[in-house]
Chains A and B, each alone.
Chain A
Amino acid sequence: MSTTTSHALPSGAQPAPRSSILVATSAIAAAGTMLMFGMLAMWFKFRDASPLRESAGGKMIHDWLPSDIKIPEVATNTMAFTMVIACVMAQWAVYSTRRNDSSHATLALAITSFIGIAAINAQVAVYLQMDMGLTDGAYQTMFYTITGTMLTLLVTGVTFSIVAMFRAVAGRLGDSSVMSAHALYWYFLTAVFVALWFVVYVQK
């Protein structure tokens, strides 16, 4: 018996861990990026096709943003900054998870969720302050459509954060790839939002 045991082949090496959730989230982030960049490309197309007019400063600009509409820049700039902070919080959750620190991971995810909800709230505030109808013109229709799509992506991000937070509360920190995927999703949201912020709210 002992001879048999001594001649037995050793077990094979454990296969390298392949994080399915991380890969799938990367694919979804790539799809989401193409979605938003495709919509931004359409925005460019319509903006560039609009006729030229003279601005208050005497420059010739595209007559795209109606002159009576003012974009609340404080709210939009704050959104952009808080989105970056959300990335830091999501990465903190990954850091804590790798150290099996449930309380800090939970706190980080709670802050991420809170920031996401704050960003949604800020977007609604922007809608209220701009006070324009969806059917008032081409700009308005496209503005609500592209920002509404971004809002939908944000809602999914908040949902992801809440689900990840419940996992952390329950102490399910063994698989850090879920937290990495969560962080990746927030990186994607932030990158896409910053692009949208620059094109829609800064360049107008």
Chain B
Amino acid sequence: MGRKLLFDKAHIEGIRYYDVYRANGGYGSAEKALKSMKPEEVLEEVKKSGLRGRGGAGFPTGMKWSFIAKPEGVPRYLVCNADESEPGTFKDRYLMEFIPHLLIEGLLISSYTLGCNSCYIYIRGEYAWIPEILEQAIAEAKKNGWLGKNIQGTGFDLEIYVQRGAGAYICGEETALIESLEGKRGNPRIKPPFPAVKGLWDCPTVVNNVETLAAVVPILRIGGDEYAKYGIGKSTGTKLISACGNINKPGVYEIEMNISVEEFIYSDEYCGGIANGKRLKACIPGGSSVPILPANLLLKTAKGEQRMMTYEGLADGGFATGTMLGSGGFIVLDEDQCIVKNTLTFARFYHHESCGQCSPCREGTGWMKRVLQNIENGKGKMSDIDLLWDIQRKIEGNTICPLGDAAAWPVAAAIRHFRDEFEWHVLHPEEATKRNFGLAHYADPLEIAAPAAV
């Protein structure tokens, strides 16, 4: 069994409620931080832990926190990003639903460190039943002196509010989230200024993912140095992976970042292998926007090494032969799945979710969707594949926010690795409506290029 830091007590009956949470050591980290540590000391622990943002970008949390501006007389805000909307990702939902106090304790410690007295949890609107769970937990925490005025006699004040979104993927982007929280359309802001300087209501603001903030609790409990001993290299600690698609055991798993992709997919502890005895064709390991990899590049890197479930391991080979850990939305495709159809659903998703503010994304996402629809429906031309490649290339990097990249990458990777499946669709339009391309050669062992002669 892998070591756990977030879900170690998730199995305890009633852990959702304050009494059980507290009886099992809950709020111990907060007590330690607020009563015996200065904010700078907490920040130091978080820096030492090597914790990286769990929302997808993987930016070092300690560093992000140290950027927050501290002008005199201006309030600072902590915003918890619970907008979880990346297809394949449903880890934060589990955490908030079953261990809400873990998040609240994390928010408390983080707010103390950053010097915030108000904190907003921005949760996606569709998780309509979770705000009640969170608000109940907030009320319990308040009743027991962990929120409100003069927390535990330390003189620190904190209020946590829950704000529901209303259906917009783009609000997971931190500046769009801030706009939405201000009661506006979720149009991402043009950066700079960054939220750390000018965020919510133009005040210094830190936006962190739910899992990131929850991870602060075990960091304080075991210490930053100890936390950094979990995982490999710069991928410290544990990561929540939400696994879905054609596997035997879909669900949310906490992994220590030292296991291989193969172990994650095939071991009974995690995904339990491919469902219905099928073979693995492809996988999108970090949420829909990260590059899809065929089976033969997923389990082993281009160098022939085991691919690990770490930031670096999944990114090995860059976009040519690697992918990203992203938000940990692990989508597995079996041999019966059609890559064109799958890519089309993601293109449709990004088209639906584009905010429409900047031209490459507003116009390009719809164009990609339509071209893919043609290929999928047997009306594609060979030139459409190159056209798609060109459209995604002109979107990537040219937009205000990363949604453009997120829309471009899945299309690029699908063409890069599965071009023959696209071509087959174009050349056999009749057949493509009746059957799928199948596994083809996508699981065949790759030839490992010999190291260049010195």
Q: Do A and B bind each other?
A: no
Binding site for A on B (CB under 8 A): none
Binding site for B on A (CB under 8 A): none
